[in-house]
Amino acid sequence: MLDIFEREPFASLKSRFNVVAVAAPSLDEGPSIPHDGKWKNTMACSHYDTFYSNRYLTTSKIHRIYDALSNVPFEHPMPERELPAVDSLIIGVSIDRDARWEKISRRLKQRLDEGMVDEITGVKV
């Protein structure tokens, strides 16, 4: 099995990682693979086929992962150097709620009329 820390950029950054294993009992093991009709009952409810990609693994039950990790100590180390001050300019558009909804609705209708559903359906592989 490949150790992730044998490859860059992980090898040179290994000291910045703290890896732990957490036991999370489940009825099954591994993720669900919907395109193969394989469904698993696991703590994380993870599955492939997100965004119609059989390589994209996600879960809609992220709170279960947070619960499983709730007793794991963790740290957020500060950088070893002083961070520079950053001058920023924030630019935004102020538009009232009703006008915003009108613009969103008009744009959505336009996209639907232009075939957005067919475009998305065509993404399935």
List pLDDT tens digits, range 9-50: 888 988 888 888 888 899 999 999 998 999 999 999 999 988
Better-scored residue on pLDDT, 104 or 125: 104
CA distance 80 to 15: 13
Q: Is the pLDDT of residue 5 over 70?
A: yes
**Which tokens sit at 89?**
């300019």
Q: Minimum mean pLDDT among 29-43, 56-70, 82-96: which range?
A: 82-96
Given a cut of 90, whether residue 86 has pLDDT beyond it is no
Q: Is it the case that residue 6 has pLDDT exceeding 50?
A: yes
Burial-class residue 17 by CB neighbours within 10 Å (0-12, 13-18, 19+). Answer: exposed
Global pTM value: 0.47
What lies within 8 Å, CB to CB, of 57 at 6+ separation is 31, 46, 47, 48, 50
Q: How many Å from the N-terminal Cα to the C-terminal Cα in the chain?
A: 29
